[in-house]
């Protein structure tokens, strides 16, 4: 499964995307292909956040593309395509993780622009801290801060009540603070 390079600033508008989702739900493979082309970079980055390995991330994206294509007729609300496909990606990545033999490497993950002033050491500390979180806490952190999802979208993607998502986010942030503070105390 080759992932092409997306051109920046070439994002399709919401109306166009909605039209394509509706066509894809009716079985139009070209419309589905255009949707995947639009979301492939996002899907790859999310998969990589989970599996931390390029080949495994590509495998996850390939599986997601196939499973989503086979199941797109079940998508009842076309405006939630991205959260729907993210839900498939989370399940697929979690299954892939269970299969993988885990080995550690320096994570080369690109954080959103708002973290541009963060040093490489701080990124590694943050990645390391996120890795120590339980799966559901990691997921809410990824979806909220790396994908910019709303609480409602996260709830849909995780198939959890919004109140639980808010609680997970709060606890995840507290855990991250605790882990980062401990690491800082032991490092100095």
Q: What is the pLDDT of residue 179?
A: 85
Q: Tell me what the pLDDT averaged over the chain comes to.
A: 81
Q: Which of 3-17, 20-34, 101-115 has the lowest mean pLDDT?
A: 101-115
Alpha-carbon distances of 92 from 6, 20, 71, rounded to whole Å: 23, 24, 14
Q: What is the pLDDT of residue 121?
A: 63
Q: What is the pLDDT of residue 2?
A: 37
Condensed to tens digits (0 to 9), the pLDDT of residues 97-121 reads 876 644 433 344 444 554 455 555 6
Q: What is the pLDDT of residue 148?
A: 86
Q: What is the pLDDT of residue 108?
A: 43
pTM of the model: 0.64
Distance CA 52, CA 119 (A): 20
Q: What is the pLDDT of residue 74?
A: 93
Residue 39 pLDDT > 60: yes
Arithmetic mean of pLDDT, 114-136: 70
Condensed to tens digits (0 to 9), the pLDDT of residues 135-187 reads 899 999 989 888 888 999 999 888 899 999 999 999 999 998 888 887 655 55
Residue 130 pLDDT > 70: yes
Q: What is the pLDDT of residue 25?
A: 96
């Amino acid at each position: 499964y080759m992932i092409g390079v997306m051109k920046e600033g070439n994002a399709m508008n919401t109306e166009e995307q909605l039209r394509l989702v509706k066509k894809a739900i009716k079985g139009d493979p070209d419309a589905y292909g255009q949707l995947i082309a639009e979301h492939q970079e996002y899907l790859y980055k999310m998969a990589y956040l989970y599996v931390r390995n390029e080949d495994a991330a590509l495998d996850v994206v390939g599986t997601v593309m196939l499973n989503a294509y086979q199941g797109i007729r079940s998508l009842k609300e076309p405006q939630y395509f991205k959260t729907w496909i993210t839900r498939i990606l989370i399940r697929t990545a979690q299954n892939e993780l269970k299969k993988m033999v885990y080995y550690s490497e320096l994570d080369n993950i690109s954080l959103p622009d708002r973290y541009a002033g963060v040093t490489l050491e701080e990124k590694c500390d943050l990645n390391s801290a996120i890795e120590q979180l339980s799966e559901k806490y990691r997921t809410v952190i990824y979806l909220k801060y790396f994908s910019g999802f709303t609480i409602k979208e996260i709830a849909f993607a995780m198939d959890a009540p919004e109140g639980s998502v808010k609680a997970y986010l709060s606890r995840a942030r507290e855990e991250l603070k605790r882990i980062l503070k401990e690491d800082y105390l032991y490092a100095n």
